[in-house]
Amino acid sequence: MTAPGAARLRVKAVRSYAPAPRRQHFYLVEILIGLGVTAGHFFRNLGRWLAGRKGAVTYQWPEERRPLAPRLRSLHRLVRRDDGSPRCVACMMCETVCPAHCIYIVAGEHPNPDIEKYPVRFDIDVGKCVMCGYCVEACPEDAIRMDTGILEFSAYTRQGLVYPKEVLLALEPAGPDGLPTSAPPRALVERGFETRGRR
């Protein structure tokens, strides 16, 4: 007998399942069925490829590049003013909002009295960067963008992945197809940036 006010336990009936078919007990039959599906895809794609059509979903990189979304975030670049100086006013918003703390800015007085500050030093460590795009969203001057279309960057050392202001100013936006519009600047090549396979 239960005490008044105590919760009653409910017992659920256990559902009974039908036994597995006899052929599933022998795994060899299931493995052969899977191999048949794989072989069917292989020979269908091979026939399409021999006929000159695109069969498989594999892209023959770097000769063939997969189409990229127009909003894809790629390597950063700093936007230039008409006189070639960076549009950045060193407000430190991008450095503050960066979750990976990969942006380092040193501010200085701009020679133009209409512009308060400019970045004496603006470094991005792409080895730490998580490509979140917060720096682009936070910038009030629209001075930093991630639209270069450059996705392949590497270096032999960690220091080689720290890109200074001069490198970021030399980059151009990607074309309408999402591919880089120019080869990487000389400073990137010296830092270990690969140029093979570029169109």
Residues 27 and 84 in one domain: no
- Indicate whether 182 belongs to any domain: yes
How far from chain centre, in Å, is Cα 189? Answer: 21
Residues 95 and 161 in one domain: yes
- Indicate whether 3 belongs to any domain: no
- Indicate whether 83 belongs to any domain: yes
Residues 50 and 81 in one domain: no
The residues, any chain, with a CB within 8 Å of residue 162's CB and separated by 6 or more, are: 123, 124, 125, 126, 127
Residues 35 and 131 in one domain: no
Residues 183 and 146 in one domain: yes
For residue 195, the model assigns a pLDDT of 40
Residues 34 and 89 in one domain: no
Contact 139, 94 (CB under 8 A): yes
Residues 50 and 127 in one domain: no
Residues 108 and 159 in one domain: yes
pLDDT tens track of the chain, all 199 residues? 556 656 677 777 777 777 777 777 778 888 999 999 999 999 998 888 888 887 667 777 778 777 778 788 999 999 999 988 899 999 999 999 999 999 999 999 988 888 889 999 999 999 999 999 999 999 999 999 999 888 887 788 888 888 999 889 989 998 887 778 876 655 565 655 544 333 3
For residue 92, the model assigns a pLDDT of 94
Residues 107 and 34 in one domain: no
- Indicate whether 97 belongs to any domain: yes
**In terms of residue numbers, what domain contains 86?**
77-190
Side by side, the strands of the sheet bearing 162-163 are 103-109, 117-125, 162-163
Kindly report the pTM of this predicted structure: 0.67
Residues 39 and 105 in one domain: no
Residues 45 and 114 in one domain: no
Instruction: Quote the number of domains for the chain.
Output: 2
Of 28, 58, 88, which residue sits at a domain end?
A: 58
For residue 19, the model assigns a pLDDT of 76
- Indicate whether 110 belongs to any domain: yes
- Indicate whether 113 belongs to any domain: yes
- Indicate whether 172 belongs to any domain: yes
**Structural Rg of the chain based on CA atoms:** 28
Residues 34 and 118 in one domain: no
For residue 188, the model assigns a pLDDT of 63
For residue 122, the model assigns a pLDDT of 95
- Indicate whether 50 belongs to any domain: yes
Pairing of strands 144-145, 77-78: antiparallel
